[in-house]
């Protein structure tokens, strides 16, 4: 059986370099989505229709720079590997990238062969850690289809609202780990203000009610910090 393609999110604002990288990686068998700025890349990452395996992030981008983008994504997904591209060769910038959680760093100009080698090394090292939230997953004993917004309960299939689905997807991606409250608010509501925070608490209560049929599932509130979706084995 053929293994599914590796899905790459490429965030690069230089049009020529972006097209060059996109073409090269496609020719090497990867599925690649190109974002021309950091904000677009953030929105693509949060879209439930997308499931990425690796991120290539330019540091200097409009709308949202690569460091900010990586911080936001790392709050939502602790596992996904990513690599920075930068024109900066300064040691403090590299250190900042690694402190955010980058798996690797390439300074422009670079060869395509080196990029591919570094990507493959990182993917081989991290593939066993990846938590897949694709077409269908199990939350405990409850089947969940993020792309269709469907939760299959004993009483029947439940169609989730858009916000319920986005929030549950984030919890599942971070199962048994902390989901940062402010990062979740920005990802689902677009703003982490007080009123959106109260709204999110209501949605968390709704999700708890839906998942209560499996007693091994708990959405734990870590006061003032975030939430944990705990699933007992």
Same domain? For 113 and 195 the reply is no
Handedness of CA 101, 79, 201, 168 (dihedral sign): positive
Q: Give the domain extent around 218.
A: 137-231
Same domain? For 16 and 112 the reply is yes
**Mean pLDDT to the nearest integer, 166-187:** 93
- What pLDDT does residue 126 have? 75
**Mean pLDDT to the nearest integer, 53-59:** 95
- Residue 180, pLDDT > 80, answer yes
Report the domain count for the chain. 2
**Mean pLDDT to the nearest integer, 95-103:** 88
What is the pLDDT of the chain when averaged over all its residues?
90
- Out of 111, 129, 147, pick the residue that ends a domain: 129
- What pLDDT does residue 177 have? 92
Same domain? For 11 and 118 the reply is yes
- What pLDDT does residue 89 have? 67
- Residue 46, pLDDT > 70, answer yes
- 103 found inside a domain: yes
**Mean pLDDT to the nearest integer, 185-193:** 92
- pLDDT band of residue 2 (cuts 50, 70, 90) is very low
Same domain? For 152 and 225 the reply is yes
Same domain? For 110 and 175 the reply is no
- What pLDDT does residue 1 have? 33
Handedness of CA 138, 174, 190, 8 (dihedral sign): negative
Same domain? For 98 and 56 the reply is yes
Same domain? For 184 and 216 the reply is yes
CATH number at residue 16: 3.40.50.2300
Cβ–Cβ < 8 Å for 104, 118: yes
- 1 found inside a domain: no
Nearest to 98 by CA among 67, 122, 125: 67
- 77 found inside a domain: yes
- 33 found inside a domain: yes
- 2 found inside a domain: no
């Amino acid at each position: 059986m053929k293994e599914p393609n590796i899905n790459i999110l490429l965030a690069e604002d230089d049009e020529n370099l972006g097209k060059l990288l996109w073409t090269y990686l496609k020719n090497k068998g990867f599925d690649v989505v190109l974002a021309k700025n950091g904000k677009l890349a953030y929105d693509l990452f949060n879209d439930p229709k997308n499931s990425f395996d690796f991120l290539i992030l330019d540091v200097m981008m409009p709308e949202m720079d690569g460091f900010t983008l990586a911080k936001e994504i790392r709050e939502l997904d602790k596992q996904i590997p990513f690599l920075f591209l930068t024109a900066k060769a300064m040691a403090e910038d590299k250190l900042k990238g690694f402190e955010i959680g980058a798996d690797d760093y390439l300074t422009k100009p670079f060869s395509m062969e080196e990029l591919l080698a570094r990507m493959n090394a990182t993917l081989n090292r991290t593939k066993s850690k990846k938590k897949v939230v694709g077409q269908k997953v199990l939350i405990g004993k409850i089947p969940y289809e993020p792309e269709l917004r469907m939760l299959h309960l004993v009483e029947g299939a439940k169609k989730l609202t858009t916000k319920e689905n986005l929030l549950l997807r984030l919890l599942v991606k971070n199962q048994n780990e902390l989901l940062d409250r402010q990062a979740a608010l920005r990802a689902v509501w677009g703003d982490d203000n007080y009123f959106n925070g109260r709204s999110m608490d209501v949605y968390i209560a709704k999700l708890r009610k839906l998942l209560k049929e499996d007693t091994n599932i708990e959405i734990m509130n870590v006061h003032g910090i975030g939430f944990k979706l705990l699933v007992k084995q």
